[in-house]
């Protein structure tokens, strides 16, 4: 079965089986894993893709509702991806998790990923709140790198959620990682990723670029805050307070953040 990007998991597994037979993969663990789990792994990836589509649809519906209610589209773009089997196995090895199907299901939460690029930082928390309020969405984990950026300056809101998919004779809960960023956050993260994987940089140059990237992260944070302030000023000019007004008392934007995430972070701290 192919996903929308044309990636055929069954062909990939068959290719790896051939590599094993040719001696290019010699580990008995790999041989046993692929021999015993070809169809279950295919099903796991297929179900993960279905869950990914469910979450993407929920977000697109919310975007349309925001346009109707607030005359504002919070989502600039949505990107989806399925983790490759190579990346999945590499992650298991990196964290010393066993190479078993149960281990994958228990320890790997980001087989399916949805990245949401928002116009403003305020949009991120408004969308997250609306998504998490839905009664078939369960929040499994949250990492708020916006309020607490990584040391290198990386900012984004990461959610691991569980969503049901309905199959022919059953319902399954599947996990999806949702990343929410502003345009500035995504621009910085994309370039930082490209530079970080330039492995042949001299040490002094790499250190200099690290410092420069951190400074750029600070500038991008300031840009987000300034653009948000401009939007807020324009919003105040647009009309009186009301439930259909972005900053109105009945608005999701009037909550000043996500109540669900605030409660989650309070329990986790």
b/e burial code for range 193-208 (CB count within 10 A of at least 16 → b):
eeeeeeeeeeeeeeee
**Annotated active-site residue in 54, 122, 177, 192:** 177
Asked whether the beta carbons of 25 and 99 are under 8 A apart, the reply is: no
Is 79 strand, coil or helix? Answer: strand
Is residue 42 left, alpha or beta, with left meaning phi > 0 and alpha meaning psi from -120 to 50? Answer: alpha
Which is it for the CA torsion 85, 91, 94, 99, positive or negative? negative
Q: At what angle do helices 9-21 and 85-94 cross, to 10 degrees?
A: 70
Asked whether the beta carbons of 91 and 109 are under 8 A apart, the reply is: no
17 φ/ψ angles, rounded to the nearest 5 degrees = -60, -40
d(CA 144, CA 148): 6
d(CA 233, CA 228): 9
Determine whether 192 is an active site residue. no
d(CA 238, CA 246): 10
Q: Which residues are catalytic?
A: 177
């Amino acid at each position: 079965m192919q996903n929308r990007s044309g990636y055929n998991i069954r062909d990939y597994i068959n290719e790896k089986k051939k590599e094993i037979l040719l001696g290019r993969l010699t580990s008995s663990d790999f041989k046993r894993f692929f021999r015993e789990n070809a169809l279950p792994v295919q099903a796991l990836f297929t179900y993960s893709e279905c869950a990914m589509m469910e979450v993407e649809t929920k977000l697109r519906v919310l975007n349309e509702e925001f346009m109707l209610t607030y005359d504002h589209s919070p989502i600039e773009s949505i990107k989806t991806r399925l983790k490759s089997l190579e990346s999945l196995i590499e992650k298991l090895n990196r964290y010393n998790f066993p190479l078993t199907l149960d281990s994958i299901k228990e320890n790997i939460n980001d087989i399916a990923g949805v990245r949401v690029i928002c116009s403003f930082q305020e949009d991120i928390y408004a969308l997250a709140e609306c998504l998490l309020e839905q009664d078939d969405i369960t929040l499994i984990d949250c990492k708020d790198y916006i309020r607490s950026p990584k040391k290198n300056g990386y900012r984004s809101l990461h959610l691991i959620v569980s969503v049901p998919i309905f199959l022919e004779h059953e319902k399954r809960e599947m996990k999806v990682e949702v990343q929410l960023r502003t345009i500035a956050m995504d621009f910085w993260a994309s370039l930082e990723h490209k530079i970080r994987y330039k492995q042949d940089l001299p040490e002094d140059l790499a250190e200099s670029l690290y410092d420069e990237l951190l400074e750029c992260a600070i500038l991008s944070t300031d840009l987000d805050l300034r653009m948000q302030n401009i939007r807020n000023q324009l919003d105040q000019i647009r009309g009186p307070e009301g439930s259909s007004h972005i900053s109105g008392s009945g608005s999701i934007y009037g909550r000043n953040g996500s109540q669900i995430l605030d409660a989650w972070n309070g329990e986790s701290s």
